[in-house]
Structures are given as C-alpha cells and as structure tokens.
Amino acid sequence: MVKKIAVLTSGGDAPGMNACIRAVIRAGLQLGLEMYVVYEGYKGLVEGKIEKVDRNFVSDIINRGGTILKSARLREFKEESVRQIAVNQLKKHGIDGLICIGGDGTYLGAKKLTEMGINTVGLPGTIDNDIASTDFSIGFDTCLNTIVECVDKIRDTTASHQRCTFIEVMGNRCGDLALFSGVAEGVEMIITPDHPIPVDEVIETIKRMNKGKKKHTLIIVSEKIFPNIYEFANRVTRETGIETRADVLGHLQRGGSPSAQDRILATRLGVEAVELLTNGETGICCGIVNNKIVHYDIYEALELPRDKHIDLLNIIDLVNK
C-alpha cells in the first residue's frame, strides 16, 4: 500500500487547483500517509523541488486562484531518460504515489511514470474543458463566469455605440468556453472549432442583423480560429460599413478566486485520487460524469471522443439568431 504521496500541478494553471491540492493533502494526512508537494510540475519534479508538508501548508488556499505549487510545461518529459530522473527524485524521498493535476499532456506524463513503477492518478485541471473523460474540468466554471462578467461589460459599450464586437476567448482547440459563454450571453454568433462559420456568412449575418431594430452585434469566437482577430474586425468594418471592434480576453480568464462549483469539484476529485491510490489503483484519471465521480485508465481516457454539445449548438440556432 502507498505510504507517501506527492501532488503536483502541470500545464496552464486553473482556478480550483489550490482547492484540489488542499483536499489531497488533508485527505492523505487524515488517512495516516506522509504527504509531499512538488513545485513547478514535471519540470520541478525532475529538478527535485519536492517538500514534505503538514495540514497547515494548505490552510487558507481553498479560495485562491492560480496554483501555490506553480506550474510549468516540460516538453522533454516525453523522453524516457528525463522521466527516469523524475522517478529517481521520487524514490530518493521514498514517495510511491503521485497525483498530477492538469490536462491531457499531464495525464500522459502520469501514465508513463506508472509504467516506470510510480503509482499515479491524474486529475483534470484546466480552464479549457478539453478532457473527454470528465463533463467538467477544475477551473472551467470559474473561467466561464469570468468571461460572462467581461461580456456583460462589453455589451454595454457595444450597444451604446451600436457596433459589432468580436470577443475572443481561450480554450486551446476546444470550443466549450466559447459555446457555454455564448449561450449564457445569448450572443448573435458563436464560432468554435466544432461550430465553424464561413467568413462570408459571418459578414452577411452582421449586415442582415444591422438592418433590424437592434443595431449591435456580439460574437464570441474561440482562440486560434482567426489568425488575427483585430485584422478581421477591420475587414468587417470595411465590408459592412458597420463599426466593428475585437477584444481578446487573454490571461485574465485564467485568474481569480475559484467558483463554489470548482472548489467542490476540486475537493471531491482530490479526495477520490488519494483513496484510489490507497486502494492500490494506478495509471488512472478521475472525472465527473452526470455528477458522479468516475475513473478511467489514462490511455482509455485519452482515446474517448469529446462531447461536442450538440444540444447546446441546437439552442443557438433556436434562440440566438
């Protein structure tokens, strides 16, 4: 049975990671285990940035955004020789279990460590919600609420000036942040990798909308769709005669105090991960499906198709047009 567990955060930070770290440490200590943290994700693991902690280490962090453990991305972790250094670092401390909070890349790293003799569990921590094995990842709900708050403000000025505004949101290659915020805001168009709209159609729709009583248009777009959203907004102004602006929300989307939903999800998942390790499970990842905590083998999880939320896409056509 595992006796010493460490936890790390990897990839882009997400609100709720701290709540998850807290749950892992507290649950582990409560079960009589020795608990450790690793700073700076897999990079810090390779560099030996490991520390033994007590319950006070995680006091007053449940409400804090970001990750107190810092995060990093380490491409070289794909190389077995680099991972071997990480394994040696863990062994030096006698750590036999590792909980890795992050996205798909983090999961893969965890699985590879399992194959090298370390017991691991992956937990979904990313604002992007791009992990197929969970309905929601830690950080998505907070980020969604941040976007909605921003778009509410952008709506005021867009309406006052009777403009068209494109709002570009994060998500990497996943459109969930755009889709969910677009539905929450009732915007005129939502453009995502799963719901692309040809440029000509975008321009024609803006023209048509402007002929109605309502003279302003809000459009939410996933990042990485337009190479330069500002240039595209200028083109729309030229081709429609309607003053058009673009706002890229950027990294403010990743910060802030986690929502109650994210704190609760993070806490449930953190406790589950510790229990799984103490029950002898390894190489798996946890998620929430239909409000139940579930777990999958990491390789299986990485093969699952992502939910494209057809139900929500249908809503846009019925309600927002």
Give catalytic residue positions.
128
CA-CA distance, 312 to 306, in Å (whole number)?
A: 14
The answer to whether 12 contacts ligand F6P (rule: CB under 6 A) is: yes
Task: Between 108 and 236, name the residue whose CB sits nearer to ligand F6P.
Answer: 108
Stretch that binds ligand F6P, among 18-26, 37-45, 165-173, 270-278 (CB under 6 A): 165-173
Helix (H, G, I), strand (E, B) or coil at 223: coil
Which DSSP string corresponds to 257-282? PPPHHHHHHHHHHHHHHHHHHHTT--
The answer to whether 171 contacts ligand F6P (rule: CB under 6 A) is: yes
Site for ligand F6P in 216-275 (CB under 6 A): 223, 254
**CB-closest chain residue to ligand F6P:** 12
Site for ligand F6P in 101-160 (CB under 6 A): 126-128
Which residue of 10, 172, 267, 282 would you call a contact of ligand F6P, by CB under 6 A?
Answer: 172
Tokens of 254: 């990743």
Tokens of 310: 């057809």
Stretch that binds ligand F6P, among 92-100, 167-175, 274-282, 290-298 (CB under 6 A): 167-175
For residues 173 and 193, the answer to whether their CB atoms sit within 8 Å is yes
Closest approach of ligand F6P to the CB of residue 248, in Å = 11
Closest approach of ligand F6P to the CB of residue 41, in Å = 12
Task: Between 86 and 127, name the residue whose CB sits nearer to ligand F6P.
Answer: 127
| 69 contacts: CB under 8 Å, gap ≥ 6 | 7, 8, 9, 17, 21, 37, 38, 39, 40, 41, 44
Size of the site for ligand F6P (CB under 6 A): 9
For residues 45 and 89, the answer to whether their CB atoms sit within 8 Å is yes
Q: Which residues of 149-167 are buried (b: 16+ CB within 10 A; e: fewer)?
A: ebbeebbeebeeeebbbbb
Which DSSP string corresponds to 18-75? HHHHHHHHHHHHHTT-EEEEESSHHHHHHTT-EEEE-GGGGTT-TT--S-TT-----G
The answer to whether 170 contacts ligand F6P (rule: CB under 6 A) is: yes
Closest approach of ligand F6P to the CB of residue 217, in Å = 25
Closest approach of ligand F6P to the CB of residue 244, in Å = 24
Task: Between 163 and 254, name the residue whose CB sits nearer to ligand F6P.
Answer: 254
Pairing assessment for the beta strands 164-169 and 244-248 based on DSSP bridges: parallel
Closest approach of ligand F6P to the CB of residue 21, in Å = 18
Task: Between 97 and 102, name the residue whose CB sits nearer to ligand F6P.
Answer: 102
CA-CA distance, 37 to 227, in Å (whole number)?
A: 39
Residues making contact with ligand F6P (CB under 6 A): 12, 126-128, 170-172, 223, 254
